[in-house]
Amino acid sequence: SLEQDVKGDLSMKTERHFLMVLAANRAEDAEPVDPRRVDEAVMHLYQATEGRMGTDEILVCQILTSHNDNQIRAIAHTYKQKFNRDLAKVIDSEFSGHMRDALLFQLGHAVDKYMHAAELLEETMRGAGTKDYLLVLRVVRLHWDHTMLSNVKAAYQQRYRRSLASRIDGEVSGDYKRLMLACIGEWR
């Protein structure tokens, strides 16, 4: 089972985080944002990270796995207002390894799923060599959701000052390039 794989592959606190995600105790998407609960979560996050020596990793995981995207977005916004610090930067400095990556993924998707997807696409092409498997996976996934694709392309253009199509065009070649461009609706 997936649970058994997680238990066998990850270290203690990272394993607990992934098991929390798999337990699916997340607030329903339709559940509204309650400002009082947001303030409470923000204070708990601060006390679990910057407001103490060491980090209460499990509390941070519980907060990010139990709230829906709108609530997490409100929590991140309120954290920035109260403490003048970006929650992603706090997580980046307080955590490491798989735990940091997973928490930043959850937060990034909740705060701006289009920009997050654009950043993930850029990661597949940044540096030496293309991470082909991830590029194909992410492009094909976007291909099936035209609204998401359109918004991700706009976010990519905004962040990187060039189109996703031109980035792919300069990164890969041949039939592979034609397929990737066709999947994003840019085949020439």
**Residue 127 CA from chain centroid, whole number:** 20
Single-letter amino acid, residue 28: E
The helix/strand/coil state of 107 is helix
Q: What is the pLDDT confidence band of residue 188, given thresholds at 50, 70 and 90?
A: low
Looking at 111, 134, 154, the residue that finishes a domain is 111
**Shared domain check, 129 and 101:** no
111-128: burial string, b at 16+ Cβ within 10 Å, e else: bbbbbbbbbbbeebbeee
In whole angstroms, what is the distance from residue 75 CA to residue 110 CA?
A: 10
Q: Look up the pTM and report it.
A: 0.85
Q: State pLDDT tens for residues 85-119.
A: 999 999 999 998 888 999 999 999 999 999 999 99
Range of the domain at 158: 114-183
Mean of the per-residue pLDDT values of the chain:
91
**Shared domain check, 102 and 50:** yes
Query: Is pLDDT of 23 > 90?
Result: no
Cα–Cα distance list, 3 to 18, 20, 133 (Å): 9, 10, 24
Kindly state the average pLDDT of the residues 158-173: 95
In whole angstroms, what is the distance from residue 116 CA to residue 119 CA?
A: 5
**Shared domain check, 130 and 85:** no
Q: What is the pLDDT confidence band of residue 128, given thresholds at 50, 70 and 90?
A: confident
Q: State pLDDT tens for residues 38-80.
A: 999 999 999 999 887 788 888 999 999 999 999 999 999 999 9
Domain count for the chain, please give it. Answer: 2
In whole angstroms, what is the distance from residue 107 CA to residue 91 CA?
A: 9
Looking at 85, 111, 137, the residue that finishes a domain is 111
In whole angstroms, what is the distance from residue 112 CA to residue 44 CA?
A: 23
Residue with the bigger pLDDT between 12 and 110: it is 110
The helix/strand/coil state of 180 is helix
**Shared domain check, 20 and 69:** yes
Query: Is pLDDT of 157 > 80?
Result: yes
In whole angstroms, what is the distance from residue 19 CA to residue 182 CA?
A: 37
Assign residue 56 the CATH number of its domain.
Answer: 1.10.220.10
**Shared domain check, 131 and 74:** no
- Does residue 188 fall inside a structural domain? no
pLDDT of residue 1: 73
**Shared domain check, 7 and 53:** yes
Query: Is pLDDT of 129 > 90?
Result: no
**Shared domain check, 135 and 58:** no
In whole angstroms, what is the distance from residue 78 CA to residue 38 CA?
A: 8
Query: Is pLDDT of 124 > 80?
Result: yes
